[in-house]
Amino acid sequence: MNELFGTLPDGTPVHRWTLERAGVRVRVLSYGGIVQSVEVPDEARRMTDVVLGFPSLDGYLEHPEPYLGAVIGRYANRIAGGRFPLDGRTYALTPNEGTNSLHGGARGFDKRVWDVTPVGHGVRLSRVSPHGEEGFPGRLEVAVTYTLTDTGALRIAYEAVTDAPTVVSLTNHTYWNLSGSGHAGGHELRLAASRYTPVDADLIPTGALEDVTGSRLDFRTARAVGTGYDHNLVLDKGVSEAAEEVAELYDPVTGRVLTVATTEPGVQLYTADHLSAPFTPGAAIALETQHFPDSPNHPSFPTTTLRPGAPLRSETVYGFGVRGRGGAGD
């Protein structure tokens, strides 16, 4: 279903698409490719929206900083100093967090209106990012397809092609609260990551990969998340051609389970400690599948360079289930 959601100040209409399958209902906006809501059942089959979102377009325009539910690009996370080298040339980006570029710059993909086309059990969002947009080189044709599988999982498929060498790392910035309200710190997380990328005071990776053993970043065995996280975890599987399950988030209050499968090599765990009104700090947890922050400045990290003739393809699948509080299966 497609409906008018609102109008931007310049008169551009923003539409909302509703996807529904296997007992799951997802709403997606043409503005920012935003996942506005995800409704899933609990143990008693009660439907609840388990992501943070605004009821109107004005909310997203007035509070852009949390990037609620949005497609992030051209580059997810941070690029140090807003600069990176590529093929012997240094490119300067638009800084929007001090001197750094964050989530694609001052007007990244989260603040653009996408073209939307219905596809089987979903929608395909597309746009052209022109050469020089926010300082990134190359004309980039990008598409993000949201579909619901026959089990009600939300599949996000990313595609991009360029006409000149560039760097690309795409993700989705949905915030999850499987209870639908309250604090999310009691959710239990299991994450298949034995290492992480330590950062400096500006949250820029040092270039090292450190072992999580003995640290609060060790989620290899499920435990309550708590607060105070904004870290890139290095997935044990690395980059993969097909999406592999890497994480499970469980809410012991409702029994809801969120699984995450991805082709990406990293996950940014963010416990939303800096959310502000109308939301409260710690109200949700973001699990942003991604390449590592600042990869263009760290040749030892998995590459984010995209070249003509070699399309980018990436996939993340969010699955939903229910588990009895005693630990029984779905």
How far, in Å, CA of 110 to CA of 175, rounded? 14
pLDDT at 119: 97
pLDDT at 43: 84
pLDDT at 329: 39
pLDDT at 44: 87
Please report, in tens digits, the pLDDT of each residue of the chain (330 residues total): 899 999 999 999 999 999 999 999 999 999 999 999 999 998 888 999 999 999 999 999 999 999 999 999 999 999 999 999 999 999 999 999 999 999 999 999 999 999 999 999 999 999 999 999 999 999 999 999 999 999 999 999 999 999 999 999 999 999 999 999 999 999 999 999 999 999 999 999 999 999 999 999 999 999 999 999 999 999 999 999 999 999 999 999 999 999 999 999 999 999 999 999 999 999 999 999 999 999 999 999 999 999 999 999 999 999 999 997 544 334
- Does the annotation list 16 as a binding residue? no
pLDDT at 328: 37
Domains of the chain with CATH codes:
2-322 (2.70.98.10)
Condensed to tens digits (0 to 9), the pLDDT of residues 124-170 reads 999 999 999 999 999 999 999 999 999 999 999 999 999 999 999 99
Question: Collapsing DSSP states into helix, strand and coil, what is residue 181?
Answer: coil
- Does the annotation list 174 as a binding residue? yes
Edge-to-edge strands, sheet with 312-322: 115-119, 122-129, 140-148, 154-162, 312-322, 256-262, 244-250, 188-191, 223-224
Residue 102 has phi, psi (to 5 degrees) of -120, 130
Catalytic residues: 173, 288
- Does the annotation list 291 as a binding residue? no
- Does the annotation list 155 as a binding residue? no
- Does the annotation list 78 as a binding residue? yes
How far, in Å, CA of 125 to CA of 118, rounded? 9
Q: Are 295 and 288 in contact (CB under 8 A)?
A: no
pLDDT at 330: 42
